[in-house]
Amino acid sequence: MSHPDDSFHVFDTTLRDGAQREGINLTVADKLTIARHLDEFGVGFIEGGWPGANPRDTEFFARAAAELDLQTAQLVAFGATRRAGGKAAEDAQLAALVNSGAPVVTLVAKSHDRHVELALRTTLDENLEMVRDSVEYLRSQGRRVFIDCEHFFDGYKANREYALSVVRTAHQAGADVVVLCDTNGGMLPAGVRDIVADVLRQTGARLGIHAQDDTGCAVANTLAAVDAGATHVQCTANGYGERVGNANLFPVVGALELKYGKQVLPEGRLAEMTRISHAIAEVVNLAPSTHQPYVGFSAFAHKAGLHASAIKVDPDLYQHIAPELVGNTMRMLVSDMAGRASIELKGKELGYDLSADRDLVGRVVAKVKEQENLGFTYEAADASFELLLRDEVRGTRERFFTLESWRTISEQQPDGLAGNEATVKLWAKGERRIATGEGNGPVDALDRALRAALEHIYPQLAKMELVDYKVRILEGQHGTGSKTRVLIESTDSTATWSTVGVADNVIAASWLALEDAYTYGLLRAGLDPSS
Amino acid sequence: MSHPDDSFHVFDTTLRDGAQREGINLTVADKLTIARHLDEFGVGFIEGGWPGANPRDTEFFARAAAELDLQTAQLVAFGATRRAGGKAAEDAQLAALVNSGAPVVTLVAKSHDRHVELALRTTLDENLEMVRDSVEYLRSQGRRVFIDCEHFFDGYKANREYALSVVRTAHQAGADVVVLCDTNGGMLPAGVRDIVADVLRQTGARLGIHAQDDTGCAVANTLAAVDAGATHVQCTANGYGERVGNANLFPVVGALELKYGKQVLPEGRLAEMTRISHAIAEVVNLAPSTHQPYVGFSAFAHKAGLHASAIKVDPDLYQHIAPELVGNTMRMLVSDMAGRASIELKGKELGYDLSADRDLVGRVVAKVKEQENLGFTYEAADASFELLLRDEVRGTRERFFTLESWRTISEQQPDGLAGNEATVKLWAKGERRIATGEGNGPVDALDRALRAALEHIYPQLAKMELVDYKVRILEGQHGTGSKTRVLIESTDSTATWSTVGVADNVIAASWLALEDAYTYGLLRAGLDPSS
């Protein structure tokens, strides 16, 4: 067991609370994949869902028992205290928690007097009895129990004595951790710190924190609770969660490991953070947030000319941690705000030493500005930038093929069948080629036509594939009549590269990005366009 | 002058530091528009850029003097202390600040000993002299001066005495506010609070805070500085800024006004927050962050069935503030996680009372699940959901037109000209219509063809317009061969509505979204499809 000891808990609830995020809809297979990523990252606990509440979560726990081989994390089932007026031992919902097979159970309990009366519709005393009875029952079934005190902070402000009595009851009944939840997310760090400190003094219970991000302070609130003595933090990957979201696992872990010097992951796992963050975003089918702390694509990207000059002297002057610690990398951005220093550094990153040729750097800066005025962006299209740089270095635009024309036709026929067809006419190695492709959409058809036209001349194309395709409307005021920017990500299975195209027309823009993607891929395969 | 007094400053630097964000590239016209939005929101200071550093910023100040009629805010020019070894009165860069005409100048000064030596390449004493001389010169020119102490917190940790001496020098030379900058963004709130308190004790200077979000704590760090006595907060709209970004203006103002009870905006402006946030996102051409605190589209959206039931009892049980305070609204999300309670509430929001018909609610829930399995999402397409609901309520699918077929052709000819043409064949009011449209892209052409086919039958269409068009690839693993979801936003100038289409093919998906958009628009115009 490589996990740090039990004295501090990193508890992930992406699969339960994170799944409440608008736009997320996880299948059981998605949940299993995410659990594997979280285990690989090294969290201590993975809350998998609410067995019995819906068929999907019940199935997840059944399949987790059979298929998941967790190395570091323990699986946690989530549920509620027993029904008012019933008995824990006879409660169907608690039975489902036991039957889930999870070694740890988190029970949500009301700790705000008004919620007990209005939402639960029972008495304050019966609510305490529900907590006691439910915890004792689960303990008797050999389960470790954590209690989530829902709306704790609001409840503490409304009726401190009652909120404290819920904590005491849970603690005395055998709950290992009492988690104080800022369910509505309205707290700020100073208030969290004071209340957690008071609860710790008054009850002696082991405390945890569950923060929502409605004030934009969920990470800080989590750390404030740790400052006050909490030893269990509940987070979600990428901060997914209802409304604004939950405390984001990655900056919380980043702060604990790198700012507090507290080891909360097994050795070596912190450097997987960026990869795991992006992998989970991929599974939930949301674009990774480019501006996420520590793991965002932009988190260590430098744009300002002022900074770029200083970074040439010493990178540590301008970054709060070495990005490699969290598996991220420093990037210099190419943009028309950038000066010569940025372009030189970017060239160096790509393997071109530009420092000796001041004219060349000037020409590249001018060309970038010109293209960016047309709507191109090279910040997210390194391969297109490298082609631009290569053309300027060589003083000529060398390509593997020359377009004559293309055409796409999409139609939906009276019988409801839809079809897409594209034809390209081009020249390659002195030969005129015409090819037609069919596809799931006009751009897919165009890609297939281009591939068909070139594949017997350039068999290396067989290894290349488009993996992502993004469309951005540049001027949002004119609807479908706007200028369109297309970003294409391609791979040859050892690397991926991004290219950009801009035109009035989504298909013309796609063509430009496709042309760069193929050109870059063939250069990567070692071919020489001038031969 | 409706602005609160000078005792607390809300200082916005969207136009200067915010513009460093990856992907943002502002024209002078953009900057003027953003300045108007910020002034309308009611910030006290708008930092417009660095006159003299680049032609765009110089032009901005020239045009601002002529065209901007600021009601609440004062315009601020940003620059650096004079060159080492020179004289402030002869410094070209300082002259440009004076010539900008801005009544307030923010000067960036080094306060970290290592930065003075390595980046500025001068002595610690000369740096102090540069601060003193520059501040005194600008004061002699009648300017109010704020000093940004760059890398202050890192500098304080490296050499506290030197960092304090920079603050003292600026203060004694006549700077009104000394702003402590966490330039690399590595601080956490507890550290900010302690250092700000110490600096205040040691120097007596009026202090400000400038926080970057690299730890995910910029809002909390800003508030921690206020807790310790800072009375000037530097922020950017939507948190735009280099790397991860800056302290986000909106949650900072939200916390100060609603959690601290401190009036920092003119009366009545807080309720404009959501609108202003989205308007600025529109100008910088970035999609508004749906999960932004206070102002995000999801910030008061409820999905979980558990919560939805409780919200029926009392909405305040589940939200930290009334969303109307910041110009936002509560939304119930339609999703396959939602139970009957959510659908009922959503129906009520749209004006359909479903509470009496349990079968109907069940049919709607089933239909939503079926459609979401196909890739539709109704969370962001209220109009498509309302059509679905309407069809279920009436038990029949009524439309204003029936498609026979459509076809789009896009081509780029050998002479480089690109063109797009679409033909639709459909039936409306018993009449068969065929029309062809040309457009900037295939979807634009399709929209025009549909409009041409229908406009003499439904003249109400003249008022309708598509305003936004979003394409999302649903399965990111297969590049251009993936399933495509299209969201279309339409307006008739009094309201906007969103519709969704999903298909293998971007054009077929666009057709579905267009069909819903037209149908919903004609219903809104009061037409009855059955007549």
- CB atoms under 10 Å from CB of A261, counted, come to 7
Q: Please give the C-alpha separations between residue B297 and each of A417, B62, B302, in angstroms, as whole numbers.
A: 36, 36, 11
Q: Examine the pLDDT at A224 and tell me if it is beyond 90.
A: yes
Tell me how far apart the alpha carbons of residues B424 and B436 are, in angstroms, rounded to a whole number. Answer: 6
* pLDDT tens, position by position, A301-335: 886 555 566 676 777 888 999 999 999 988 776 65
Same domain, A307 and A274: no
Of the partner residues B337, B414, B479, the one whose CB lies closest to the CB of residue A405: B414
In a domain, B295, yes or no: no
Q: Is residue A383 in a domain?
A: no
**What 3-state class would DSSP assign to A272?**
helix
Q: What is the pLDDT of residue B306?
A: 55
ipTM confidence:
0.75
Q: What is residue A155's predicted lDDT score, i.e. its pLDDT?
A: 97
Asked, for residue B252, whether it belongs to a domain, the answer is yes
* pLDDT at residue number B415: 84
Q: Read out DSSP for B43-84?
A: -SEEEEE-BTTBHHHHHHHHHHHHH---SS-EEEEEEEPPPT
Residue A78 confidence (pLDDT) above 60: yes
pLDDT band at A414 (very low <50, low <70, confident <90, very high): confident
Helix H or strand E encompassing B433: strand B431-438
Q: Which of B20, B282, B475 sits opposite A476 (nearest CB)?
A: B282
Whether B283 shows a pLDDT value over 60: the answer reads yes
With respect to residue A295, please indicate whether it lies within any of the assigned structural domains. no
Confidence of residue B110 (pLDDT cuts 50, 70, 90): very high
The pLDDT, as a whole number, for residue B351 is: 83
Q: Are residues B347 and B257 in the same domain?
A: no
Based on the fold, state whether residues B159 and B146 are members of the same structural domain. yes
Give the per-residue pLDDT at A306. 55
Whether residues A223 and B293 touch (CB distance < 8 A) is answered with: no
pLDDT at A333: 67
Chain centroid to CA A359: how far? 41
Which residues on chain A are in Cβ contact (under 8 Å) with B442? 408, 410, 442, 505-507
Residue B290 included in any domain: no
Residue B20 is nearest to which of A304, A313, A504, comparing CB atoms?
Answer: A304
A114, A411, A441: residue with CB nearest B406: A411
Nearest-neighbour CA in chain A from B100: distance (Å): 20
Out of A61-70, A387-396, B127-136, pick the least confident.
Answer: A387-396
pTM: predicted TM-score of the whole model, two decimal places: 0.76
Is B230 in the same domain as B117? Answer: yes
What pLDDT does residue A478 have?
A: 37
List the one residue out of A112, A107, A91 whose CA is nearest residue A174.
A107
> Among A327, A353, A373, where does a domain finish?
A373
How many residues are given for chain B? 531
How many beta carbons lie within 10 A of that of residue A144, not counting itself? 19
Rounded to whole angstroms, the Cα distance separating A447 from A466 reads: 9
What is the residue-averaged pLDDT of chain B? 90
Q: pLDDT grade, residue B177 (50/70/90)?
A: very high
Nearest to A28 by CA among A4, A11, A49, A6: A49
Kindly report the three-state secondary structure assignment for every residue of A459-486: HHHHHCEEEEEEEEECCCCCHHHCCEEE
| Integer Cα distance of A255 and A189 in angstroms | 15
Name which residue leads in pLDDT, B359 or B186: B186
CATH number of residue B475's parent domain: 3.30.160.340
Position A338 scores a pLDDT of: 54
User: Domain total for chain B?
Assistant: 4
Please report which confidence band the pLDDT of residue B481 belongs to, taking 50, 70 and 90 as the band edges.
very low
Whether A224 and B189 lie within 8 Å, measured CB to CB: yes
In which order are the strands placed within the sheet that holds B431-438? A431-438, A418-428, A402-412, B402-412, B418-428, B431-438
Domain that holds residue A63: 9-284
Q: What is the mean pLDDT of residues A402-430?
A: 91
Q: What is the pLDDT of residue B482?
A: 60
Please check the confidence at residue A107 and state whether its pLDDT lies above 50: yes
Same-domain check for residues B423 and B471: no
- C-alpha A515/C-alpha B40 separation (Å) is 46
Q: Which residue of A has its CA nearest to B154?
A: A320
Tell me whether residue A503 is in a domain. Answer: yes
pLDDT band (50, 70, 90) for residue B305: low
Q: Which residue has the higher pLDDT, B481 or B121?
A: B121
Partner residue facing B215 (CB), from A290, A293, A470: A293
Q: Is residue B296 part of a domain?
A: no
pLDDT score of A476: 40
Alpha-carbon distance A216 to nearest alpha carbon in chain B (angstroms):
6
Residue A474 has pLDDT above 90, yes or no: no
Q: What is the CATH number of the domain that holds A48?
A: 3.20.20.70
- pLDDT band, residue A215 (cuts 50/70/90): very high
State the Cα–Cα distance between residues B378 and B501, nearest whole angstrom: 10
Identify the weakest region by mean pLDDT among A220-229, A414-423, A477-486, B47-56: A477-486
Q: What is the CATH number of the domain that holds B446?
A: 3.30.160
Q: What is the pLDDT of residues B52-102, one digit of tens each?
A: 887 889 999 999 999 999 999 999 999 999 999 999 999 999 999 999 999
Query: Is there a contact between B410 and A242 if contact means CB atoms under 8 Å apart?
Result: no
Query: What is the model's pLDDT at position B115?
Result: 92
The pLDDT score that the predictor gives to residue B303 is 67
A36-57: per-residue pLDDT in tens?
Answer: 999 999 999 999 999 988 788 9
- A258-310 residue pLDDT tens: 999 999 999 999 999 998 998 898 778 777 788 999 999 889 988 655 556 66
Is B505's CB within 8 Å of A292's CB? no
Residues of chain A with Cβ-Cβ distance to B373 below 8 Å are none
Asked which of B258, B284, B310 is the last residue of a domain, the reply is: B284
Contact A94, A78 (CB under 8 A): no
**Residue among A188, A213, A299 whose CB faces B259 most closely:** A188
Does one domain contain both A71 and A164?
Answer: yes
| A216 to B219: CB separation less than 8 angstroms, yes or no | yes
The pLDDT score that the predictor gives to residue B304 is 53
* Chain A interface, best mutation among B410, B475, B502, by max A CB count within 10 A: B410
φ, ψ for residue A325, nearest 5 deg: -60, -30
Best probe of the A interface among B217, B285, B438, B497, by most A CBs < 10 A, is B217
Whether A481 has a pLDDT exceeding 70, the answer reads: no
- Chain A residues whose beta carbon lies within 8 Å of the beta carbon of residue B290: 22-23
Same domain? B327 vs B253: no
Tell me, yes or no, whether A235 and A86 share the same domain: yes
Least confident of A252-266, B101-115, B184-198, B342-356: B342-356
Quick one: which of B486, B405, B409, B484 has its CA closest to B442?
B409
| Lowest-confidence region among B158-172, B220-234, B431-445 | B431-445
Instruction: List, in sequence order, every beta strand (DSSP E) within A260-367.
Output: 301-302, 331-332
Q: Would the pLDDT of A252 be above 90?
A: yes
Q: Do B440 and A480 touch (CB under 8 A)?
A: yes
Would you place residue A473 in the very low, low, confident or very high pLDDT band (cuts 50, 70, 90)? low
In DSSP terms, which residues pair with B45 in a beta bridge? Answer: B11, B74
Please indicate, yes or no, if residue A507 is contained in any of the structural domains: yes
Residue B454: enclosing H or E segment and its boundaries? helix B442-454
Q: Which long-range contacts (CB under 8 A, 24 or more apart) does B461-465 make?
A: B461/B518, B461/B521, B461/B522, B463/B492, B463/B493, B463/B525, B464/B490, B464/B491, B464/B492, B464/B517, B464/B518, B464/B521, B465/A479, B465/B490, B465/B491, B465/B492, B465/B493
Q: Which of A117, A99, A104, A55 is nearest to A78 (CA)?
A: A104
Statement to judge: residues A120 and A55 lie in one domain: yes
Looking at every residue in chain A, the average pLDDT score rounds to 89
Q: Using the predicted structure, report yes or no on whether residue B480 has a pLDDT greater than 70.
A: no
For residue A291, give how far its alpha carbon lies from the nearest alpha carbon of chain B (Å).
5
Tell whether the model's pLDDT for residue B434 goes beyond 70: yes
Task: Answer for the pair A461, A522: CB distance below 8 angstroms, yes or no.
Answer: yes
Checking if the pLDDT of B513 tops 70, the result is yes
Q: B313 pLDDT exceeds 80?
A: no
Q: Average pLDDT in the B427-444 region?
A: 92
Same structural domain, A242 and A309: no
Residues B428 and B338 in one domain: no
Domain identity same for A60 and A204? yes
Task: Express each pLDDT in B246-265 by its tens digit.
Answer: 999 999 999 999 999 999 99
Between CA A341 and CA A348, with CA A347 as vertex, the angle to 5 degrees is 90
CA angle B355-B361-B364, nearest 5°? 145
Summarize pLDDT for B190-245 with one digit per residue, the tens.
999 999 999 999 999 999 999 999 999 999 999 999 999 999 999 999 999 999 99
Q: Å from A162 to nearest chain B CA?
A: 17
Q: In which band, very low, low, confident or very high, does the pLDDT at B511 lie, cut at 50, 70 and 90?
A: very high
Q: What percent of chain A has pLDDT over 70?
A: 93
Q: How would you classify the pairing of strands B232-235 and B207-211?
A: parallel
**What pLDDT does residue B4 have?**
52
pLDDT bracket for residue B476 (50, 70, 90): very low
Interaxial angle between packed helices A340-349 and A358-373, expressed in degrees from 0 to 180 and rounded to the nearest 10: 100
